[in-house]
């Protein structure tokens, strides 16, 4: 391993220069990556397979799963997270986004995960608890600025149809857009995708008590929280 940079020797004084053997470099590179995959993917996957669905967490309905696909297809994940972090070092709970840190059990029905990495918009893992109103979600999806002037969320008018009042049928879900941004002379009707997405959003509730299986880990986190705050108060 001590050949000079411009040298050309594979063998040097009887010693093998590993870095001059392509196969050895390749094998080492492969072995290190295989070790990392084992440690960070295979071992956790084996452990987490034991995680059971909490009794208070129903599986998604067919329409909610459809809404989840709409969420994925339109890239909601790039601005919205779905996780409450440890209150020991974040203010996620104080902000009212949830009553506790989320645990692996909360995500057993999620395939794939939608934990997210951005909060250009608020966290959504408990949005169904915060905003349990289908019409609020539909108005907000059609035109976020009809409800919050400062919002930079994209509008999703393509999830809605605009119809003349006389064309509205009995099965149509009419969305009444409030305020000056309401479209004039037409009625906004939610397409099935919009209703499915709103239904999925309203299903996002992870407020039940931490399941027993996760309690040990959760208690440790809570203890750290108290220890971290020193005087016991956050």
Restricting to residues 195-214, name those near other proteins by CB under 8 A: none
Relative to beta strand 173-175, strand 187-190 is antiparallel
Torsion-angle region of residue 230: left (phi > 0), alpha (psi -120 to 50) or beta?
left
Binding residue for other proteins, selected from 39, 174, 216, 229, defined by CB under 8 A: 39
Site for other proteins in 57-96 (CB under 8 A): 72-79, 81, 83, 85-86, 89-91, 94-96
Site for other proteins in 103-162 (CB under 8 A): 103-104, 106-120, 122, 144-145, 148, 150-158
Indicate the Cα dihedral angle 123, 128, 129, 133, nearest 10°.
Answer: 120
Does 29 participate in binding other proteins (rule CB under 8 A)? yes
- φ, ψ for residue 228, nearest 5 deg: -65, -35
Does 45 participate in binding other proteins (rule CB under 8 A)? yes
Residue 74: CB atoms within 10 Å = 16
Smallest gap, in angstroms, from Cβ of residue 75 to other proteins?
2
Does 6 participate in binding other proteins (rule CB under 8 A)? yes
Does 15 participate in binding other proteins (rule CB under 8 A)? no
Does 222 participate in binding other proteins (rule CB under 8 A)? no
Lookup: tokens for 48: 């987490």
Site for other proteins in 168-197 (CB under 8 A): none
Residue owning tokens 């994209």 = 154
């Amino acid at each position: 391993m001590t050949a000079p940079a411009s040298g050309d020797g594979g063998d040097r004084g009887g010693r093998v220069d590993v870095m001059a053997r392509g196969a050895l470099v390749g094998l080492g590179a492969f072995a290190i990556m295989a070790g990392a995959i084992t440690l960070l993917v295979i071992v956790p996957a084996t452990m987490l397979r034991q995680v059971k669905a909490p009794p208070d967490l129903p599986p998604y309905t067919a329409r909610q799963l459809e809404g989840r696909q709409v969420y994925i297809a339109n890239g909601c994940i790039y601005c919205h997270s779905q996780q409450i972090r440890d209150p020991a070092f974040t203010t996620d709970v104080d902000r009212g986004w949830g009553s506790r840190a989320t645990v692996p059990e909360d995500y057993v029905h999620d395939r794939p995960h939608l934990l997210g990495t951005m909060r250009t918009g608020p966290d959504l893992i408990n949005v169904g608890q915060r905003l349990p109103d289908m019409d609020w979600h539909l108005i907000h999806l059609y035109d976020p600025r009809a409800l919050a002037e400062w919002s930079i969320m994209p509008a999703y008018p393509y999830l809605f149809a605009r119809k003349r009042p006389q064309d509205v049928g009995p099965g149509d879900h009419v969305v009444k857009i409030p305020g000056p941004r309401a479209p004039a002379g037409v009625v906004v009707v939610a397409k099935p995708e919009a209703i499915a997405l709103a239904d999925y959003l309203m299903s996002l509730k992870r407020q039940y008590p931490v399941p027993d299986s996760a309690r040990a880990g959760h208690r440790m986190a809570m203890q750290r929280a108290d220890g971290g705050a020193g005087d016991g108060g956050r």
